[in-house]
Every structure is written in C-alpha cells, then in structure tokens.
Amino acid sequence: MKNSLLSYFTNFISINTQSDPDSDTYPSCEAQELFAEVLAGKLSVMGMKNVDVDRYSYVTAQLPANTDEDMPVIGFISHIDTSPDYSGMGIKPNIINNYNGSDIVLKNDIIISPKEFPVLKNYIGKTVITADGTTLLGSDDKAGMAEIFTAMEYLIAHPEIKHGTVKVAFTPDEEIGAGVDHFDVKKFGCDFAYTVDGGDEGEINCECFNAARAKIKIRGKSVHPGSAKNSMINAALLAMELNALLPDEKPQNTEGYEGFYHLTDMSGDVSAASLEYIIRDHDKTKFEERKNTVKAAADAINQKYGNCVELELYDEYYNMAEVIEQHKYVLDRAVKAAEKAGVVPEIRPIRGGTDGARLSFMGLPCPNLFTGGHNFHGPYEFAVLESMEKAVETILNIITG
C-alpha cells in the first residue's frame, strides 16, 4: 500500500493545477481540465465503473457493492487544484526517510524547523515529504486524492472485503471557493460523504467558519497637489482610514473559535482604491455582526467624504456543524474508523472551509477527514507518508463499517 500511495502522490503533485482567482472560466485553468481526463483514465484502468468527466471537469466514478447486505452508499471527495498563493510549477518532492528530528534545509533559505513547527517532533523515524523550497508541495489536496485512489485500488485488489457501493469525486477550483459551484449532488447519489482534505493525523472536521467576502471600491478626487486645499480626496488614504475602523481581529491574532477580518488585497492611488476582505466566524450571530461592522465602516467614510465608497458584500459558505449535528452518525462512523486504524481522533473546528461545508447545505452531509499534510499553501508545506497510510486505512474502515 505504501509504495502505491507514494507513487500516486508524487505523480499527482508533478502536474501543476493551480486555480486562478482572476479567471472567468470554469474550471479556472486548462491544466485542471487536462488533469481531470488523466484521472478518469487512471480510474478506468484501475477497474472503477461509471467513470465520467462532465463539462465542468468534475470527475466521478463508482465501485459497485460486492455484497447483498444493506449498506449505505458512501462518497469520498477531494479537489484537483492547488492554491494560487505560491508556485505549483515543477514541484520536486524531497523524500526524507527515517526523519531524525533536525532542521530540514531547502532552497531559497527555506528551513522547516521543529523549533518553529514543533509538530515535526512527532514524526521522528517517519517518512517526511517536502518540496524543494521553490514551490508548495501540493498535499492540499493531492494527498487526499492519492489516498482515495489507493483505497479504491486496495478494495479492487481484495474482493474478499465486503462493502457497499462507494462513489468518488474529484472537483476543480476548491482553492478559490468555487469547488462545488456546479456539483450535482443528486446525480452523485450518496447517502453521505467525506471530503479528504484535512491536516494532520487524526483531525476530523465537522465545524467550519461561516464565510463572507467584502469588495470595496473607493472613488477619490485627483487635484494637483499644489492647489489641492479643501478639494483633493485621496482614495488611497481613505482606504487606509476605512481599514483602521475595523477591529484588530486579524488571522495572525486569532485562533480556535475566534473569527477575523482578513485584508486579502489592497491597491490604489489618489483617484481610486480598492480593498478586499474575507470575513470569518464560527458563530452565526457574531458572523452577522462582523458583516455589519464592515458596512458601518463603509457608511462612516461615505458620510464623511460624500458617498465615495461602493461595498459589495456576499456570503460564501456556512458552518457545516448546523447540518452535521442532524446526522451525527456520519461523524461517529469516521471516529470509529479512525480508532480502528490506530489513530486518536481529534474533532476540531477547521479555521477555513471545505467543499464539504457547501455540500452539507446542498443535502449531502460531508465532514472532512485528515490527509497527513501540514503548512499548506507555501514552501514550508510537508506531508507524512505514515499519516497518509492511516488516512487510507480510515477510508477503508469507513467503507466497511
């Protein structure tokens, strides 16, 4: 199993499938379309049935039941894109067998140190996989993809293991919030599902943020600075002033269930400026309060400078706990499966979102399972092969009940 898992993983990460937040196509880049076709071919060769790539590049396939026993139809989902936050071009895996607990020194002066990342101490003697320092690794979510592939391959090779119908799906553009924009839950046809898109060993997520995005445009008034008295309105300065009206609750200052305002983009000059924020909170009431705070900041600038601010504010996804609480058996099944694999389950809120959050509100209860990856979206990313194996075992245990 280990060799197959590693082979899938290194093969998948070698293909650059970064999503593009500025694209107006779906999926957002041609590489994802091509990769979807590659995946479909691999699934067919493996022996999966009803393999399909639809016009949105959703890849789906089915492993038929091999028993007459009444068992649920279970789905497993991961995403094929990687984050646009850091380069995914030419990823070269650095495989460290029997990791000794020392600093991992990579190119570009990147050092993955247990002093900065103490969790590394848990993996002494294990197989740690990084990139070379010039790219992200891509374990988000190609570790999840490799784990689903490996689990399906194992079941096909071991028909003596009785199971119900299993369905898999691989989605584009999760990293830019569009992963299930066109996903057909009814066609997928599962009783419940799991995204395999989490972090370190044992992590199971059934809570996530409520999420919104704010896009703010500010119109200034450009006048020659030599004659600007009482007439110039500097849009860039207004952007700074508006930002200063928000509470100092940033991602770097918060943890656990604490929400935040995150300035993701800012640009401008005297005549025009723009700001983009993501707004996050696990608590629905506090989430609404945060959105109102952004509205109040925009209103304050408008009142002071004369309707120069345009605010576009919209919700992205909601806390899946609201749905999972009504289907606790889905979470219980995952916990039992992890324990059977020798893993200590850690049920924790994810400080982010998954495709599963939106799918849960689309009628498909969908908690999130660990993949064995750490420090996603940058050059400090690493994965642990033994934890990835435990993810495969957990998937298999979920299927067999």
User: Which sequence positions are flagged as catalytic?
Assistant: 81, 174
d(CA 358, CA 179): 9
Do the strands 203-205 and 166-171 form a parallel or antiparallel pair, or are they unpaired?
unpaired
Which amino acid would we find at residue 80? Answer: I
Nearest CA to 143 out of 200, 86, 60, 88 is that of 200
Do the strands 309-317 and 210-219 form a parallel or antiparallel pair, or are they unpaired?
antiparallel
Encoding tokens for residue 352? Answer: 């982010």
Long-range contacts for 103-112 (Cβ within 8 Å, ≥24 apart)? Answer: 104/128, 104/130, 104/382, 106/130, 106/131, 106/132, 106/133, 106/379, 107/132, 107/133, 107/134, 108/133, 108/134, 108/379, 109/133, 110/379, 110/380, 112/375, 112/380, 112/382
Find tokens 């050092």 and name the residue: 111
d(CA 126, CA 117): 16
3-state secondary structure of 235: helix
d(CA 132, CA 135): 7
